[in-house]
A and B are shown apart, each in its own frame.
Chain A
Amino acid sequence: MEKCWKTLDYQSLIIEEWDSGFTVFQPDSGSTHYLNKMSVLILKYLENDSLAPLSTVRICNYLVTEFQLQPDTAFSKQVNKTLYRFDELGLVKQIP
């Protein structure tokens, strides 16, 4: 079954844009993360469609379109890895 994701307490995040990327402060854990534009777009995309959890494939398709990339398996793997990292940090949660 395909993995689906949704954001976790996105509203509490304090996101600041800088020249080279974004800092995301997570009040719950007190952690600050550096994210590039693509990572932030993943979170925003998940949040905007938060009523329905989104699949990894759908997220990849969205990013490929947004960044005009050539879709490949390496890219999908990288996005999947990022989503798992987000999950570990409590930024998103996996919906079975």
Chain B
Amino acid sequence: MFENHRDKKIEPEKNLLLNKTAQTRRQLLKKSAAIPVIMTLHSGSALARSSNIGTPITDINAAATGGQSGDILCVHPDNTNGGPLGDGRYDLGTAPMVSGNYQDPDNTENQAIECNTRGGIIISATAYASLSGRGILPDSSTL
């Protein structure tokens, strides 16, 4: 019923190629055994990212369309799978927190200062909406 692959005949040309590959592999192993080798292994989960990448705003006015509250958001990336990527961008993770209730809700500059004090990053509401629009991040209005 089932084909026995072990007994399957290999064409002579293919056999030659397989032998050559095996020979090369053996040579490579033999060569690498002649020098000390050390490689640090990295955990896959540590490298896993949520791909909710956002860039913090450096110019508040550039993001604030009308100078009203709601143009920018103070986001705290999820500690479990988010954080700075080291190139100025942040992975927000799967469950970031958006903080609100600003003391001075109509002043974007003060919001930015307050956000920094709280340990968050300022991103534009539009950028956040584009991420939450994919259904990955929670909608900021529900947070």
Contact = CB atoms under 8 A, between A and B. Distances in A.
B32 interface: yes
Interface string B27-50: 001001111111111010000000
Interface in B46-73: none
A39 B32 CA distance: 11
B38 A82 contact: yes
A37 to B, nearest CB: 7
B36 A34 contact: no
B39 A33 contact: yes
A27 interface: no
Is the interface on chain A under 10, 10 to 19, 20 to 34, or 35 or more residues? Answer: 20 to 34
Contacts of A33: 38-41
Nearest to A85: B38
Contacts of A20: 29
Nearest to B46: A30
A83 B29 CA distance: 21
B38 to A, nearest CB: 5
Interface string A54-96: 0000000001000101000001001100100110010000000
A38 interface: yes
A23 B41 CA distance: 9
B49 to A, nearest CB: 19
B33 A67 contact: yes
A56 B21 CA distance: 36
Contacts of A82: 36, 38
11 contacts: A21-B37, A32-B43, A33-B40, A34-B39, A35-B36, A35-B39, A36-B33, A67-B33, A82-B36, A85-B38, A89-B40
